[in-house]
Structure 1
Amino acid sequence: METLCGADCGACALRESCGGCAKTGGRPFGGACVCAECYKTGGEEAFRVCCEQLLREFNALGIADMPSVTQLCQLNGAYVNLEYPLANGQRVKLLDDSRVYLGWQLEREGSDRCYGLVADEEYLLVCEYGCGGSDPQIIVYKKRSAVSGGQI
């Protein structure tokens, strides 16, 4: 499968349903892909700059026991779009199943829970969850500051 970013899609369990980013113009699951947008605007260098900016933003959140974020990967929205409980008893999903985001998972030291980090052009999301995404809780969900050049 041909990609815009050079990712090796051969081992991906979702490769049959994605359509490939090169073939779909950067919309592998029907929605936008953060990585493809970076590559379309400036290739590998633009993608590197996007990732560095996101790493700075995640690390600047100052979440006390969250380890430093040093890398990001592409994440399918359907895989990371957890349903969060709100204070009023409602449950809400914040992401789009058809999009591809950038993010990472970090283990919480001394805990069986993890931090999940997800970002796109507009928002940063940090959540906490148990095994298999159980009992998710929103830690930070915020609109990103304007980034130079209109890129992520």
Structure 2
Amino acid sequence: MEMQEMLKKLRENNNLTQEQMAERLMVTRQAISRWENGETQPNTETLKLLSREFNVSINTLLGSPRQLICQCCGMPLNEDSIISREKDGSYNEDYCKWCYEEGEFAYKSKEGLLDYLVGNMPNPENLKDEERRSQFDSYLSQLKHWK
């Protein structure tokens, strides 16, 4: 879904007129109309406000142009409900809610995460734990949090 469609859907799902949405975002009704017609787009600060006000990630507002991946464990972040939050409630689109929540990381070390992955991830190929640990480590080392 494109950004203009997402913004209109968000407004309609919240039973708001363009005027009401404009008041809530401190912009003009004409700005809302131009966004929904695809003539212009909200600026960065307005996107942040939209995200907070309507409890939706910026990536979703933009029409999900990029595949988000947790930069701690590598999990795809394909739903807003699994994206982490900061203490102020805003989204942190770099991490899943299991690795990072309210400004705190769940795994204090890569070793701790590796222990969890080896102990809990399926092993359909029946690989030895050392080999699995090495594969997980190789993948995790490419993620921002562990570089």
* TM-score after normalising by structure 1: 0.27
Structure (1 or 2) with the greater strand fraction? 1
Structure (1 or 2) with the greater helix fraction? 2
* TM-score after normalising by structure 2: 0.28
